[in-house]
Amino acid sequence: MPISLPDLCDDHADDLDVLEPVFRDFGGRARFSGPVATVKCFEDNTVVKASLAEPGQGRVLVVDGGGSMRCALLGDLLAAMGADNGWAGVVINGCVRDVEITRDIGIGIRALAAFPVRSDKRGEGQRDVPVWFAGTHVQPGYHLYADANGIAVASGDLGVDFGAG
């Protein structure tokens, strides 16, 4: 049976950093985990799209969108592309849209809020850089764990059955 995030925190308190509880669930997978890939961008989802177009191999894309509430960095088309390409989930320090559709797509999605306006497409953003938001530092290669209780990261895979669903 998969372990829950509270149990993981109890058993691995010294190995985990827990993100502040500011994220809402917008995806079709309530639980997800995997190695982290990162994107840093602001109101431009060009690099998010490029990342999700690549094979995910069970990874989680962590996007620091600067906490912007003025546009969405992910919608139904990018969520479906990420799911089709094997991404386990996406965590966005920013907004998403098309949430009535993303809830039925087989990918975990956590974001600050829903907002109906799409982002700009200027080709700006950075990949595979350390990011800091929700009180936590996240680096490429970290391992992320998310369920209904929250989101936590460890510097490596803790080797537990976290499951998915």
Count of domains for the chain: 1
pTM of the model: 0.97
All residues at 6 or more sequence positions from 76 whose CB lies less than 8 Å from its CB, including other chains: 97, 98, 101, 102, 105
pLDDT in tens, 98-133: 999 999 999 999 999 999 999 999 999 999 999 999
Give the position of tokens 């139904």.
76
How does residue 11 score in pLDDT terms, banded at 50, 70 and 90?
very high
Q: Is residue 78 part of a domain?
A: yes
Query: Quick one: what percent of the chain has pLDDT higher than 70?
Result: 99
Phi, psi for 14 (deg, rounded to 5): -80, -15
Q: How confident is the model at residue 163 (pLDDT cuts 50, 70, 90)?
A: confident
Comparing C-alpha atoms, which of 62, 158, 57 is closest to residue 109?
Answer: 62
Residue 142 lies in a domain: yes
In a domain, residue 8? The reply is no
Q: Which domain holds residue 57?
A: 22-154
Rounded Cα–Cα distance for residues 39 and 161 (Å): 27
3-state secondary structure of 105: coil
Give per-residue burial for 66-85: e unless 16+ CB within 10 Å, then b: eebeebbbbbbebbbbbbeb
Whether 10 is in a domain gets the answer no
* In-domain check, residue 11: no
Is 33 part of a structural domain of the chain? Answer: yes
Give the model confidence (pLDDT) of 20-64 as tens digits: 999 999 999 999 999 999 999 999 999 999 999 999 999 999 999
Alpha helices (runs of H) in 69-125, residue ranges in sequence order: 76-84, 99-102
pLDDT of residue 161: 87
Residue 148 φ/ψ, nearest 5 degrees: -65, -15
- For residue 58, the domain's CATH number is 3.50.30.40
* Separation of alpha carbons 29 and 156, rounded Å: 22
pLDDT for residue 165: 54
Question: Is 65 a domain residue?
Answer: yes
Residue 118 within any structural domain of the chain: yes
First to last CA, the chain: 12
